[in-house]
Amino acid sequence: MKYDSITTIKVNKQLYDSFKIDNIKSKFNLQDLVSRSMYLYMNDEEFRDKLYNFILPVLSESSQKTVLNITGSKNI
């Protein structure tokens, strides 16, 4: 797979540290998670709806509000 974009994101440190620890043996990394999640997001409407409606317990609700407009693109 060719990687054309490099990006930087901010994630909750506690959540990321837990993710790293849980995935040391399986060698499943953040890049794998993001790539697969993006694919599912674009190709699986049920997955997309689940993400839109999920409230992450470690973050405040106001920091993760996603509002959809009529065309289906998201506004944060």
Render pLDDT for 19-64 as a digit per residue (tens, 0 to 9).
999 998 888 999 999 999 999 999 999 999 999 888 877 655 555 5
Asked whether residue 36 is assigned to any structural domain, the reply reads yes
Planar angle of CA 56, 53, 33, nearest 5 degrees: 60
Which range of residues forms the domain containing residue 25? 13-75
Question: What CA–CA distance (Å, rounded) separates 43 from 38?
Answer: 9
Q: Are 30 and 22 in contact (CB under 8 A)?
A: no
In a domain, 43, yes or no: yes
Structural domain tally of the chain? 1
In a domain, 65, yes or no: yes
4 lies in a domain? Answer: no
Phi, psi angle pair for 74, to nearest 5°? -100, 145
**pLDDT-based confidence at 66, cuts 50/70/90?**
low
In a domain, 18, yes or no: yes
Helix, coil or strand: residue 1: coil
- Within a domain: 42: yes
Instruction: Supply the pTM of this predicted model.
Output: 0.64
